[in-house]
A and B are shown apart, each in its own frame.
Chain A
Amino acid sequence: MKFTPRPLRDEVNVSREHPLKEFFLLVGGVSAVFLAVFLILGLALDYVVPHISPELEDRLGKAYVTAFDIDEERSPAEQRLQELLDRLTGSLEEPDREYRVHIIPSPEANALALPGGHIVILSGLVREADSENELTMVLGHELGHYQERDHLQGLGRGLVLVFLSTLLFGADSPLSSLTMALLGSAEMQFSQSQERRADEWGLKLLLAEYGHAGGATSFFRRMEEKEEGKELLYFFSTHPFPKKRIEAIERAVREGKHPVKEKAALHEALTGVE
């Protein structure tokens, strides 16, 4: 047998398809499936959430209190916020339900409504506030979330999100954070309307307490000035850009012809919170 050298004509072992084409097909297909599952589970949650018993909610709340490392001992600032809160709960549908305020040290100005009536205020928010009316508005907003049972829904959606991405990519894979970011912005579309309704509650409770709408928007307005130029970042945020919220609240104040009067100064326990 004679050896005849012949060059290979084709690359048979390597697919010719452009890798970018494969990439976009896969990303598109997988995210479509994700989004579908996420939406379906979201709808399922809307159905389930009204049926969660108060006992189960309390158990969930306890788990959160442990997870957030919340101190049982109350600081003077927490006691003062609790006083403000207790005055508001009287005008709610279920006045007997217990709500507790916790302050967690943090540079961020934010507040969370956890299951079991635990309202967590990040200390940055207390530092930013310049009157009790503003804090009342925030507390009223969080109470509004409980009235709409958003706290459980948000919790559920958050779990669905974590569950989906962890299931598919593992706990700390970069793909996980990508999905969280993408689906998080989809989630925002749900939460925007929730935030608006909670703002309506906040305004209602503020009016019931003080009889005027002073402080309803001044806090958000200061936040807006801080966030100016960061509109793009809000694509990834669960809260709507403050400007839209301010507009909605101001419209409600105008339409209801509510007076706007001087705000009440901060109690001394609330000044100098670290």
Chain B
Amino acid sequence: MESLLDLVIFLGLVALGYFAGSRAERRHYRSIRERERKFLTQPAVSFGKFQGQETVADARLVSGSAVISIDYFKRLLAGLRALVGGRVKSYESLLDRARREALLRMKEKAAGADAIVNLRIETTSISKGSRNRNNSVSTVEALAYGTALYRRKQA
């Protein structure tokens, strides 16, 4: 009786995780693709000197970060995956979304820049170091930062 209730709650959480999680992911990817098209002409590169840039009037540090959480279904999948090994496919999209969102936020911050150089992306697990493994929420943060270069002096 009690185990049946446990099972129902568990399956309910899995279903909630799956439906809410995939919906959020679909919507996020739609928004990411749309904004990536918008910022396509904004150069952002990982090397320091931007060739062909004769005069730089202004340079600023720009950064953007995004925190994405897993859902119950993804955690269950990763838990099962941890038993047998292999690619944790359910987490791949989380990290991908976090990186791309962070990059886009950085570009939004650097709106009007002629180029962003020295671009770096870093990832942090926010739940790291938590004592209670079962109750912590696994969440990743991606941080993108770089130097925005402007030909004209900024106000």
**A joins B in a complex:** yes
Selected contact of B83 from candidates A1, A6, A30, CB within 8 Å: A30
Of B6-14, B104-112, B119-127, B146-154, the one contacting chain A is B6-14
Selected contact of A29 from candidates B7, B10, B13, B84, CB within 8 Å: B84
User: Is B4 a contact of A236 with CB atoms below 8 Å?
Assistant: yes
User: Is B7 a contact of A19 with CB atoms below 8 Å?
Assistant: no
**Residue B16, interface by CB 8 Å:** no
User: Is A26 a contact of B134 with CB atoms below 8 Å?
Assistant: no
User: Is A233 a contact of B84 with CB atoms below 8 Å?
Assistant: no
Q: How far is the CA of A17 from the CA of B92 in the complex (A)?
A: 11
Q: Which positions 91-122 of chain B face chain A at CB distance < 8 Å?
A: 92-93, 95-96, 115
User: Is A17 a contact of B89 with CB atoms below 8 Å?
Assistant: yes
Q: Which residue of A lies closest to B95 (CB)?
A: A13
Task: Give the interface SS of chain A, mostly helix, strand, loop or mixed.
Answer: helix
Q: Which residue of A lies closest to B1 (CB)?
A: A233
**Residue A256, interface by CB 8 Å:** no
User: Is A15 a contact of B89 with CB atoms below 8 Å?
Assistant: yes
Residues of A within 8 A of B145 (CB): none
**Residue A47, interface by CB 8 Å:** no
**Residue A248, interface by CB 8 Å:** no
Q: Total A-B pairs in contact (CB under 8 Å)? A: 83
Selected contact of B7 from candidates A23, A168, A173, A181, CB within 8 Å: A181
User: Is A174 a contact of B96 with CB atoms below 8 Å?
Assistant: no
Residues of A within 8 A of B84 (CB): 26, 29-30
Q: How far is the CA of A20 from the CA of B74 in the complex (A)?
A: 10
**Residue A49, interface by CB 8 Å:** no
Q: How far is the CB of B126 from chain A (nearest CB, A)?
A: 20
Selected contact of A26 from candidates B7, B81, B93, CB within 8 Å: B81
Q: Which positions 41-83 of chain B face chain A at CB distance < 8 Å?
A: 41, 43, 51-52, 73-74, 76-77, 79-81, 83
Interface size class of B (residues with CB under 8 A): 35 or more
Q: Which residue of B lies closest to A237 (CB)?
A: B1
Q: Given A1-B51, A30-B83, A175-B76, are A180 and B3 also a contact pair (CB < 8 Å)?
A: yes
Interface size class of A (residues with CB under 8 A): 20 to 34
User: Is A8 a contact of B36 with CB atoms below 8 Å?
Assistant: yes
Q: How far is the CA of A99 from the CA of B89 in the complex (A)?
A: 57
Residues of A within 8 A of B96 (CB): 11, 13-14
**Residue B22, interface by CB 8 Å:** yes
User: Is A15 a contact of B80 with CB atoms below 8 Å?
Assistant: no
**Residue A259, interface by CB 8 Å:** no
Most buried by B among A8, A172, A177: A177
**Residue A170, interface by CB 8 Å:** yes
Q: Given A1-B51, A170-B134, are A26 and B3 also a contact pair (CB < 8 Å)?
A: no
Q: Which residue of B lies closest to A25 (CB)?
A: B80
Residues of B within 8 A of A180 (CB): 3
Q: How far is the CA of A11 from the CA of B95 in the complex (A)?
A: 13
Q: How far is the CB of A2 from chain B (nearest CB, A)?
A: 8
For the complex of A and B, list the 10 residue pairs with the smallest distance between their C-beta atoms, beginning with the closest: A26-B80, A177-B6, A15-B89, A174-B10, A181-B3, A5-B40, A13-B96, A3-B43, A14-B93, A14-B92
Interface residue ranges, B against A (CB under 8 Å):
1, 3-4, 6-7, 9-10, 13, 18, 22, 36-37, 40-41, 43, 51-52, 73-74, 76-77, 79-81, 83-84, 87, 89-90, 92-93, 95-96, 115, 133-134
What are 7 A-B contacts with C-beta separation under 8 Å?
A1-B51, A2-B52, A19-B18, A30-B83, A173-B134, A174-B10, A181-B3
